[in-house]
Amino acid sequence: MSVDPVVRPGAGAAVTLRPVTGARLQDGFWGARQRVNRAVTIPLGGERVRDSGAFDNLRHAARGAGGEHPAEHRGKVFADSDVYKWLEALAWERGRREDDGLARSYAEASELVAAAQCADGYLHTHTQLTGRRRYSDLASSHELYCAGHLMQAAVAGRRATGDETLLRVAARFADHLAKDLPGDALDGHPEVEMGLAELHRETGAPAYLDLAARQVAARGRSLIQLKGHHGPGYRQDRVPVAEATTVEGHAVRAMYLAAGATDVAVETSDLDLLAALDRQWRDMVATKTYLTGGLGSNWYGEAFGGHHELAPDTAYCETCAAIGSIQWSWRMLLATGDAAFADLIERTLYNAVLPGVSLDGEHFFYVNALRVRAGADPDDLRAPARGRQGWYGTACCPPNVMRLFSSLDHYLATRDGDGVQLHLYAPGTVRAGGVLLEVETGYPWTGRVEIVVKETPDHPWTLSARIPAWADAAGVEAAGIDGRPAEPGGYHRVRRTWRPGDRVVLDLAIRPRLTAAVPRLDVARGQVAVERGPLVYCLEQADHPGVIVDDLCLAAADLRDASAVAGLPADVVPVTARGRVHVHREDDGGFPYRTAVAPQDPEHAGPADLTFVPYYAWANRGAGPMTVWTPMHRA
């Protein structure tokens, strides 16, 4: 089934690449995740959203719209957005494979949303049920934030299934906003910009893009009323988007705004704005991104810190921020064609989004720290030390994961006037016009990626296959086919008149490697991380009985692939190494500091065998100490 993509730039958009409509994941690593998402996570999400009262809010708002006295609103002010994200996940799943149960759930929820809409198009159940004046507290009401998610769900419904129920609701709301939203009104949580831009692309209505552009241009002038201790940067209202040099404030808000601003930049051909966004992205990657691709180093405000403020144990790295990062990077990839954006998408997807849901699809992380210390017993349910939870009072992350996984096919490949580009590797097929490719691979466990041409036009075109930046020993087999040499961080390009049966085989030479941080990242000095292919690894307490992960260090750089470990799927490849375990001295005196000696006294560090597992898989065997960064033993 051919389904229009999540992001579909207009015919005149200033983009280098365009999404394909015929990519399909089949089996393999991500195929398995999509099956769990469909069979377990999405149905569970529907139950949890219903239990939260979000559906009841819509029912009560519908009765209120009919003149009956409304009931009390349940849940957060942004509860509507949980429904919309779940509906978007349902839509993309139906586009992948129709199902009577999915169709019935989608229809029931969509009709409920439509019934709750006011006669003039307005829709926000918290405002409708509490009687609060519309747009009177946009700093925290999330009215436009919810509208943006409604618009994205509506576009997904039409593109994936042809159903226009939500599209009519979203268009009426957007018409209302274009007509009645005060000129200086800005939501404290960006999101409507993406929704308006994509709704414009779907309907062709210029007013929607104009409003999105107005929202982006108004940022940075301290128009949002502030509460508490946060400054205007927390809500991206300190510096105009076109003038900013870095990202700041609440990480999810920053990513959603940047993604929406990129939509506006390409649709209006504002190359200065696009250049500013490119600078902000590169500064973020260079100074504010964790090894996993996670974003947000401060629990207070769920926010970015300063440059190189990337402590592993206090990392916030909200799952939603990682998803927002992928949304922004994908739009920048379409705009520029630069493989750096695809590299970050892959890193973030495997290591910052995937940890947000358990292997069984039933439990979630809101926060994704890179270290959990022994003895941690926080009261906050978001803390990784408490393990994944079945749901959260603020439940933005679980349905966000659902909609990304159900639409993941759309991020595999693109096309341009010269050919087809492959960005993410998974078993499946890619159709772009007259080209049909089949991809066979065991990625990310093995680096062999076989690309087979199944159908092709009879004129030359270019096949471009991304070589990840980490693949410094990549090789390419293409018997009788000339092409540019494979270079890490770019694309292996082959232009020719192809024939059915032609194939290009990538050998990305996946093997364990040690990674060190730049010196300015002082919290990781003297420590290393283990990576293997696109995956970041960690030490987990479950694999080291009798010792505490906090006391382990790496003694040698001879990393080795190992056989499966107990409690994790058989296809997971662990990495082993020789290490040391620090023995606490009896004369510590109860004070955690002592006179420095060099080198470290080896008699207080005994041998240990270390087992590293993929970071995304930790906490599936119970919560406990864990670390991505490991000290190197200096004997």
Tell me the catalytic residues: 302, 396
Where do the H-state alpha helices sit in 204-338? 206-218, 251-267, 271-287, 319-336
539 Cβ contact list (under 8 Å, min separation 6) = 549, 552, 610, 611, 612, 626, 627, 630
Q: DSSP letter string over 445-507?
A: TS-EEEEEEEE--SS-EEEEEEE-TT-TT-EEE-TT---PPP-TTEEEEEEE---TT-EEEEE
Token duo for residue 238: 């300190």
- SS3 helix, strand, coil % of the chain, rounded to 5? 40, 15, 45
- Here the tokens at position 2 are 């051919």
Give, in degrees to the nearest 5, the angle at Cα 515 between 513 and 521.
Answer: 175
Give me the residues paired with residue 421 across strands: 414, 464
Cα separation, 282 vs 263, whole angstroms: 18
Q: Report yes or no: 410 and 392 within 8 Å, Cβ to Cβ.
A: no
Specify whether the CB–CB gap between 326 and 383 falls below 8 A. Answer: no
Residue type, 43: P
Q: What are phi and psi of 560, to 5 degrees?
A: -135, 135
State the Cα–Cα distance between residues 547 and 526, nearest whole angstrom. 21
For residue 434, the Cα-to-chain-centroid distance in whole angstroms is 31
For residue 120, CA distances in Å to 114, 116, 180, 555 come to: 12, 12, 10, 68
Q: Is 518 left (phi over 0), alpha (psi -120 to 50) or beta?
A: beta
Contact 437, 24 (CB under 8 A): no
* DSSP SS3 for 129: helix
Angle between helices 339-348 and 319-336 (to 10 degrees): 160
Helices then strands, counting H and E runs in the chain, come out as: 16, 21
CB atoms within 10 A of CB 336: 17
Q: Calculate Rg over the CA atoms of the chain.
A: 25
| Residue 620 DSSP label | S
Biggest alpha carbon–alpha carbon distance for the chain = 80
Nearest to 19 by CA among 289, 327, 325, 271: 327
| Residue showing tokens 């960005």 | 423
Using an 8 Å Cβ cutoff, are 429 and 438 in contact?
Answer: yes
| Cα distance between residue 613 and residue 559, in whole Å | 12
Q: Show the tokens assigned to 195.
A: 């929704």
CA distance 66 to 59: 11
